[in-house]
Chains A and B, each alone.
Chain A
Amino acid sequence: MSTPTGILAEYRAQRAVSKPASRTIKPWYQNMPLVAGAIVVGVLVLIAVLAPVIAPYDPIAQNLQETLQSPSSEHWLGTDKFGRDVFSRLIWGARVDLRVGFIAVIIPFTFGTIIGGLAGYFGGWFDIIVMRIVDVFFAFPFFVMIIALVFIFGAGESSIYLAIAIVSWVAYAKIVRGEVIVAKEQDYVVGAQLGGMSHMRILFRHIGPNVLSQAIIYAMSDIVMDIMAIVALGYLGLGIAPPVAEWGSMILEGQEFITTHWMQATVPGLIVVVTSLGVSWLGDGLSDLLNPDRRK
Chain B
Amino acid sequence: MLHRLTFIPSRLLQAVPVVFGVTLIVFFMAHLLPGDPAQAILGDKATPDAVSALRTQMGLDKPIWAQYFLFLAHLAQGDLGMSFTYQRPVTEIVLQAIPVTMSLVVFALTLTLVISIPLAAIAATAPDKPRDFAVRTFTLIGQGMPQFWVGIMLILLLAVRARIFPVGGFGETILDHVYYLFLPALTLAISLSPTAIRSLRTSTISVLGSDYVSTARSKGASGVPLFRQHVLRNAAIPTVSVIGVHLGYLVGGSIVIEKVFAIPGLGSLMLDAIYARDFPTIQAVTLFVGIFVTFVGILTDVIYTLMDPRVNLAAKGRA
State which of B61-69, B91-99, B236-244 sits at the interface with chain A. Answer: B236-244
Say yes or no: A266-B153 contact (C-beta < 8 A), given A13-B202, A136-B21: yes
Question: A262 — nearest CB in chain B belongs to which residue?
Answer: B156
CB distance from A241 to the nearest CB of B (A): 15
Count, chain B residues at interface, CB 8 A: 60
State which of A103-111, A118-126, A144-152, A187-195 sits at the interface with chain B. Answer: A144-152
State which of B29-37, B47-55, B82-90, B215-223 sits at the interface with chain A. Answer: B29-37
Is B270 in contact with A1, judged by CB distance below 8 angstroms? no
Beta-carbon contacts under 8 Å, A222-272 to B: 224, 228, 231-232, 235-238, 248, 251, 255, 258-259, 262, 265-266, 269, 272
Residue of A13, A147, A224, A255 near B144 (CB, 8 A) is A224
State whether the Cβ of A140 lies closer than 8 Å to any Cβ in chain B.
yes
Is B146 in contact with A143, judged by CB distance below 8 angstroms? no
A-contact bits for B235-255, CB 8 A (1 contact / 0 none) = 000110110111011011101
- Specify the main secondary structure of chain A where it touches its partner: helix
Is B202 in contact with A17, judged by CB distance below 8 angstroms? yes
CB distance from A169 to the nearest CB of B (A): 14
With A and B bound together, what is the CA distance between A18 and B206 in angstroms? 7
Chain B contacts of A276 at CB under 8 A? 143-145
State which of B5-13, B108-116, B225-233, B285-293 sits at the interface with chain A. Answer: B285-293
Is A147 in contact with B270, judged by CB distance below 8 angstroms? yes
State which of A4-12, A87-95, A197-205, A211-219 sits at the interface with chain B. Answer: A4-12
Say yes or no: A144-B144 contact (C-beta < 8 A), given A13-B242, A17-B206: no
Is B146 in contact with A272, judged by CB distance below 8 angstroms? yes
Is A266 in contact with B21, judged by CB distance below 8 angstroms? no
Is A1 in contact with B191, judged by CB distance below 8 angstroms? yes
Question: B251 — nearest CB in chain A belongs to which residue?
Answer: A141
A-contact bits for B163-184, CB 8 A (1 contact / 0 none) = 0000000000000000000000
With A and B bound together, what is the CA distance between A139 and B26 in angstroms? 12
Is B290 in contact with A280, judged by CB distance below 8 angstroms? no
State whether the Cβ of A14 lies closer than 8 Å to any Cβ in chain B.
yes
State whether the Cβ of A66 lies closer than 8 Å to any Cβ in chain B.
no
Closest CB pairs A-B (n = 8): A276-B144, A141-B252, A136-B21, A13-B238, A269-B149, A143-B252, A17-B206, A5-B245
Where the two chains meet, the residues of A that have a C-beta atom closer than 8 Å to any C-beta of B are: 1-3, 5-6, 8-10, 13-14, 16-19, 132-133, 135-145, 147-148, 151-154, 224, 228, 231-232, 235-238, 248, 251, 255, 258-259, 262, 265-266, 269, 272-277, 280-281, 296
A-B contact pairs, 27 of them (CB 8 A): A1-B147, A1-B191, A3-B249, A9-B242, A13-B239, A135-B17, A135-B18, A136-B21, A138-B293, A140-B290, A141-B249, A142-B252, A143-B255, A144-B252, A144-B270, A224-B143, A231-B149, A232-B148, A232-B256, A235-B256, A236-B256, A237-B275, A248-B146, A251-B148, A269-B145, A272-B146, A277-B140
